[in-house]
Amino acid sequence: MPPRESFNAYFKSAFTVDNVIFGFDEGKLKILLIRRNEEPYDNYWALPGYFVMQDEDLDAAAQRVLREMVGLENVYLEQVHTFGAPGRHDFGRVITVAYYSLVKIADVSPKASGVAQEVMWHPVQDLGELAFDHGEIVSVALNRLKRSIRTRPIGFELLPPAFTLTDLQHLYEAIWETDLEKRNFRKKILSMDLLKDLGRSQEGVAHRPAKLYSFDEDRYQALMDEGFNFELREGKRK
């Protein structure tokens, strides 16, 4: 083995994870941002992220950031892309591995901590300029999400354990920024046999209450084993 020393010059970089945390609320897709309280980008909104520890796996680091910033464990998490333009960080060469996560907004209790003065949900359609290259990261993550929800039943991660078909449809509409046709959407999603009818209905609404469903995890596993392919479509463009 060549002496480790001959490669010393390369061991001068740092890397971080940044988390695009998606939530769904008030019919809108939102992401959780923190407001920085130090330079660089003092006062800018930024993605929750931090340095990866020397002996920590990347996924674990992303999980840790989630735990520390929003107090959640075992959340849906997916690596998206790695950003490493030479000038993207003032401290030196910092490359960041971007993740996105899907959380149920009701479960989140954001805690201010350290660099995060404030933690807040922002509608994805209405983010100002973000710190560093975080605007670009969000954009890449959002595109990934739009694709992923077509072929994986991950939308449910954003909804409470019991939801209505209308909730589910609104979720897809918000993410894709399209309108879906109600009857066709229901027919399609019900035909997949992935929803458990909970046998109860909404309460406290001023109209006919909708039936509540949950995602049937076990059924999904079983279907996957026989080669089932989840797929929803955004429908014809006008």
Helix axes 182-191, 165-176, angle to 10 degrees: 110
Site string for a copy of itself, 182-221 (x = CB under 8 A): ----------------------------------------
Q: How far apart are CA 99 and CA 36, in angstroms?
A: 19
Residue 217, CA distances (Å) to 4, 78, 192, 227 in order? 48, 19, 13, 16
**Omega prior to 161 cis, within 30 of 0:** no
For 159, phi then psi, to 5°, come to -105, 155
Does 193 help bind DNA (rule: CB under 7 A)?
Answer: no
Does 229 help bind DNA (rule: CB under 7 A)?
Answer: no
Look up tokens 């949950």; give the residue.
214
Q: Least separation, in Å, of the C-beta of 146 and a copy of itself?
A: 12
- Of 26, 67, 71, 82, the residue at the interface with a copy of itself (CB under 8 A) is 82
Does 164 help bind DNA (rule: CB under 7 A)?
Answer: yes
Q: How far apart are CA 183 and CA 162, in angstroms?
A: 20
Does 10 help bind a copy of itself (rule: CB under 8 A)?
Answer: yes
Does 43 help bind a copy of itself (rule: CB under 8 A)?
Answer: no
Does 198 help bind DNA (rule: CB under 7 A)?
Answer: no
> Which residue number, 125 or 166, has a Cβ lying nearer to DNA?
166
Residue in 140, 88, 83, 104 with CA at minimum distance from that of residue 32: 104
Q: Segment near a copy of itself (CB under 8 A), from 7-15, 102-110, 164-172, 198-206?
A: 7-15
Q: How far apart are CA 176 and CA 235, in angstroms?
A: 10
> Which residue number, 112 or 205, has a Cβ lying nearer to DNA?
205
Q: How far apart are CA 184 and CA 155, in angstroms?
A: 18
The angle subtended at Cα 230 by Cα 229 and Cα 234, nearest 5°, is 130
- Of 188, 196, 214, 228, the residue at the interface with DNA (CB under 7 A) is 188
Q: Least separation, in Å, of the C-beta of 55 and a copy of itself?
A: 5
Does 207 help bind DNA (rule: CB under 7 A)?
Answer: yes
Instruction: Tell me the chain's radius of gyration from C-alpha atoms.
Output: 20
Residues forming contacts to DNA in the complex (CB under 7 A) are 164-166, 181-184, 186-188, 201, 205-211, 231, 233, 235-236
Residues forming contacts to a copy of itself in the complex (CB under 8 A) are 1-2, 4, 7, 9-15, 38-40, 51-52, 54-58, 79, 81-86, 90-93, 95, 97, 227, 237
